[in-house]
Amino acid sequence: MTHPLVAVARELAPGFATRAPHWDKTRSYCWQNVQDLTDAGIMGMSIPKAYGGQGASFLDVAMVVEEIAKACALTARIVVEANMGGISAVMAYGTDAQKAFCTEHVLAGDKPAICITEPDAGSAATEMRTTARKQGNSYVLNGTKHWITGGGVSKLHLVFARVLDEHGTEQGIGGFILFADHASRNVPDGFKVVGRERTMGLCGMPEAELRFEDVEIDASMLLMPPSGLKRGFADLMNAYNSQRVGAGTVALGLAAGALERATRYVLEREQFGRPIAEFQGLQWMLADMDTQVHAARLMLHDAARSRGTNGGQFPEMTQAARAKLFASEMAIKVVSDALQMFGARGYSDGEPLERMYRDVRMFTIGGGTAQILRTQIAGSLLGIKTPQTRDGYGPNADRMRFAAE
């Protein structure tokens, strides 16, 4: 049975579509939409009922995300990160206190930020330099994170850092839950948002550079991976298996929305004395678009469902990688083809496809590039060690490289 929030998402979508050009043009965060999502119970809908959420499955979330992404990809990304991003790692590995702390904020409308990438550590995430050094009952965080989605608007941050003991000896990579509320100036000393990228698409979302200078975090805010710190990076990166299903679904929604627009337009627009829908060249384009959208949806739903069969915490890694890879590349092509069918009108910012074309381009980059996902899928197929990837897999693979080893 379809989750009731899917119908709610459909009801909210027209308002999101109307407001989407505003967030895009003003590069502002869609607080009004976040309020709607919070009121509807979509923020944190995947959080278990025991923590105040709806206990929705990732398949339910994916169906909601697709409906919203058809209208506004920016808003759909927020739904992903409030259900399938860093919060999924907290719900899987966190202490009761960490879960209670994070769920309270997400259910009140916060979209947690996940902070891994650094200026010199992109695909090679394990080359991160940010450190967290133990000092009594705290850790002291130093380093710079870049391209952090929601930097400056998110209150919760899951910051990945090299954990050092009191003597400075590396213990592995851990995730730290850091709270900062910029609106009320409740920000830990030494934590600064030092810049924001001017992105090509998804312009309402800050992609920020964050700096940590001797930021003190209580030791209770270390999210301990089940394999321990030394081999814990792969555990923490499991959050990306969730996030990839979500990101792929935003791309799917953009493609499905573009296809709907194109299908309507070709029936209305006339050239050579008839609707352009009568030209077989366009009919076959539409048929290919529809087939690709459908295939991506099946792959993403399959990956979302795999969360229920691998211990219930995260989608299976290779299924998530495959689905995101296919959906992101498919969506770029489908949105581009839809824009083509609009002719010059598609090239104008009076037509949402112009924005959708810019928005969709990100999905083969953020959250693991198409190249890294291919490398990971191939590694899983071959069962060999692929030291050039950021993710661990399989029983024989060294799951991360350590400076200490």
Ligand X SMILES: Cc1cc2nc3c(=O)[nH]c(=O)nc-3n(C[C@H](O)[C@H](O)[C@H](O)COP(=O)(O)OP(=O)(O)OC[C@H]3O[C@@H](n4cnc5c(N)ncnc54)[C@H](O)[C@@H]3O)c2cc1C
Binding footprint of ligand X on the chain (CB under 6 A): 113-117, 122-123, 147-149, 207, 362, 365-367, 369, 371-372, 375, 388
The residue among 299, 364, 311, 318 whose CA lies nearest residue 59 is 299
Residue 301, C-beta contacts closer than 8 angstroms, at least 6 positions apart:
59, 62
> Are 246 and 81 within 8 A, CB to CB?
yes
Nearest one of 323, 301, 101, 325 to 217, comparing CA atoms: 101
Residue nearer to ligand X on the CB measure, 201 or 352? 201
Q: How far is the CB of 282 from ligand X (least distance, A)?
A: 32
Closest to ligand X by CB, 21 or 122: 122
Question: Which lies closer to ligand X via its Cβ, residue 115 or residue 177?
Answer: 115
CA distance 319 to 310: 12
Q: Which is nearer to ligand X, 62 or 80 (CB)?
A: 80
Question: 306: part of which helix (H) or strand (E)?
Answer: helix 280-306
- Shortest distance, CB of residue 149 to ligand X, whole angstroms? 3
Write b or e for each residue in 197-231: b if 16 or more Cβ atoms lie within 10 A of its Cβ, otherwise e. eebebbbbbbbbbbbbeebebeeebbbbbeeebbb
Shortest distance in whole angstroms from residue 146 CB to ligand X: 7
For residue 14, give both structure tokens.
């027209």
Of the pair 54, 154, the CB lying nearest ligand X is at: 154
In the complex with ligand X, the residue whose CB is nearer, 340 or 371, is: 371
213 φ, ψ to 5°? -120, 100
Query: Looking at beta carbons only, is 116 or 299 nearer to ligand X?
Result: 116
- Among residues 323, 308, 305, 366, which one has the least CA distance to residue 114? 366
Whether the Cβ atoms of residue 93 and residue 235 lie closer than 8 Å to each other: yes
CB 122, min distance to ligand X, A: 2
CA distance 124 to 368: 10
* Least spacing, CB of residue 290 vs ligand X, in Å: 28
We find the least distance from the C-beta atom of residue 362 to ligand X, in angstroms, to be 5
DSSP state of 181: B
Of the pair 19, 390, the CB lying nearest ligand X is at 390
Query: Which burial class, exposed, middle or buried, applies to 123 when counting CB atoms under 10 A from its CB (0-12, 13-18, 19+)?
Result: middle
- Biggest CA-to-CA distance, the chain: 80
Identify which of residues 222 and 247 has a Cβ nearer to ligand X in the complex: 247
Find the shortest distance in angstroms from Cβ 371 to ligand X.
Answer: 3
- Dist. CA 224–CA 218, nearest whole Å: 13
Amino acid identity, residue 317? M
Single-letter residue type at 49: K
**Closest distance to ligand X from the beta carbon of 201 (Å):** 8
- Give bridge partners of residue 215 from the DSSP assignment: 141
122 versus 195: smaller Cβ distance to ligand X: 122
Minimum Å gap between C-beta 262 and ligand X is: 25
Q: How far is the CB of 150 from ligand X (least distance, A)?
A: 7
Distance, in Å, from the CA atom of 87 to the CA atom of 114, rounded to the nearest integer, reads 9
